[in-house]
Amino acid sequence: MRIVLDASILYRNWLLDTPDFRVLEKHMALGRSELFVPEIALLETISNYRKEVRRHLASLGKLRRLVPSMSGSEAVPDLEEICDAYRETLHARLESLGAQIPSHGHVPHDVLVTRALEVRKPFRESDKGYRDCLLWEVILRSAARRGVKTIFVSDNYHDFGAEPDGHGLHGHLRADLARADLPEDCVELYRSLHDLIREVIAADLETAVDEIATSLRDGSYAGFSLLTWFTEHRSDLTSSPGDWIGGAFDFLVELESPEVVNIEAPEREDICVEDVLRIDDERVVLYAVADADLTVDAFVFKADYYGLEDRCPLQIMDRDWNDHYMWVQIEVKLPLHFSLTLNVITNEVEQHEVHSAGGIFGWCPHCCQPILNDAAETCRHCGAAFF
């Protein structure tokens, strides 16, 4: 199996050291898969890293002007030095993973021009999609092979996928495979590395550790309690990499920039270990879910608020955040899917990551808790029927 990572996956975790990457590393070490990171994806990741660092450095400069006690502190770090160090770190990490970095230099320019003029995916109207097209052409030429399953991991299903929840490619891309004398299903699309691991790689590894999973479900393993760790690290979870909360509010397009500002500790019965995979003699990766109460900040365009208030239990924090937007807050109970890399010798959690918080399809009219299934007929919280 060949696994190709898009930039949208790389900049969810800049250092590629989340529990999912540890599982992927294990899979590759066993010879079950090869990793490809096209050069265009690497360059885009470094560019986005630069933008992110620049944004934070600007905030730091503003803070020092606002706080007199910081005026004598060390100067603001140099952007170029930070980015150079990151570039070296990223290349070193990819080398340790054994990743191949195919170049896009051999892609004929006339191929891109033709796709743009015909508006064939991943190109869109107005010639948008140049980098995505270059990435796809690299996959066609350097990764896709007859008799080998190639998994393309990208959150950009709008331009690559046939549908949001499936693994099929857009028809234009399947036609490209056929023209290259390759089976149309030899490349599959996954929206996240986490989905790929849970649906394919975990079963392929066959390294589930039932003893640890059973002990943790009963409360603790060798002194490690998942509930205790969750309770003590709630603030760390709110800042976990990636926009894991954004997808939960997809149906509420009026809510902008949702951000989790607080996570309450769940009850013992509301946290559960779903799976345990062994990485080596010392480390395992835990996949878990916790029903947790979240406080979410967001912004709503003032003109949109009056159509939204009946569909969502909002609390107005600042009606005049600026001339156009309100600052609102939502308190909601959602299933947090997360993972940990646990050292079973020291009981230390070495990495953690939140993957998602489910998806909201509305609110129960009886208890105001979220509806997490578009086919649900009764509330999972209060048990009342919706109709």
Options 3.40.50, 1.10.10, 1.25.40, 2.40.50; CATH of 2-198: 3.40.50
Cα(69)–Cα(15) distance, integer angstroms: 33
The residue among 46 and 119 whose pLDDT is bigger is 46
What's the pLDDT score for residue 35? Answer: 97
| pLDDT at residue 73 is higher than 60 | no
Higher confidence at residue 4 or residue 254? 4
Query: By C-alpha distance, which of 328, 310, 311, 301 is closest to 252?
Result: 311
Output 288 or 381, whichever has higher pLDDT: 288
Helix, strand, coil: what percent of the chain each, to 5?
40, 25, 35
Is residue 26 within 8 A of residue 279, CB to CB? The reply is yes
CB atoms within 10 A of CB 242: 19
- Over residues 186-211, the mean pLDDT reads 87
Q: What token pair was written down for 350?
A: 């070495």
Give, as one character, the DSSP assignment of residue 263. Answer: E
Structure tokens at 67: 């706080």
d(CA 311, CA 328): 14
Question: What's the sign of the alpha-carbon dihedral 135, 136, 137, 142?
Answer: positive
Instruction: Please write the tens of the pLDDT for every residue from 149-190.
Output: 999 999 888 889 887 777 889 999 999 999 999 999 999 999
Give the pLDDT confidence score for residue 365 in this predicted structure: 78
Tens of pLDDT, residues 336-374? 999 999 999 999 999 999 998 888 888 777 777 788 887
State the CB neighbour count (10 A cutoff) for residue 118.
Answer: 9
139, 182, 194, 242, 265 from 142: Cα distances, Å:
5, 13, 24, 28, 47
What is the predicted pLDDT for the residue at 138? 95
Helix H segments across the chain?
7-10, 19-29, 39-66, 79-97, 109-118, 130-138, 157-160, 171-179, 193-196, 202-205, 210-218, 226-232, 234-238, 302-308
Q: What is the mean pLDDT of residues 276-291?
A: 92
Percentage above 70 pLDDT, the chain: 94
Average pLDDT score, the chain:
88
DSSP state of 343: E
- Looking at residue 348, what is its pLDDT? 94
Distance CA(291)–CA(123), nearest Å, equals: 40
More confident residue, 133 or 128: 133
Write down the domain spans for the chain. Answer: 2-198, 208-356
> Which is more confidently placed, 240 or 338?
338
Residue 39 has pLDDT above 90, yes or no: yes
CB 356 within 8 A of CB 247: yes
* Contacts (Cβ under 8 Å, ≥6 apart) of 92: none
Q: pTM of this prediction? A: 0.85
How does residue 124 score in pLDDT terms, banded at 50, 70 and 90?
Answer: confident
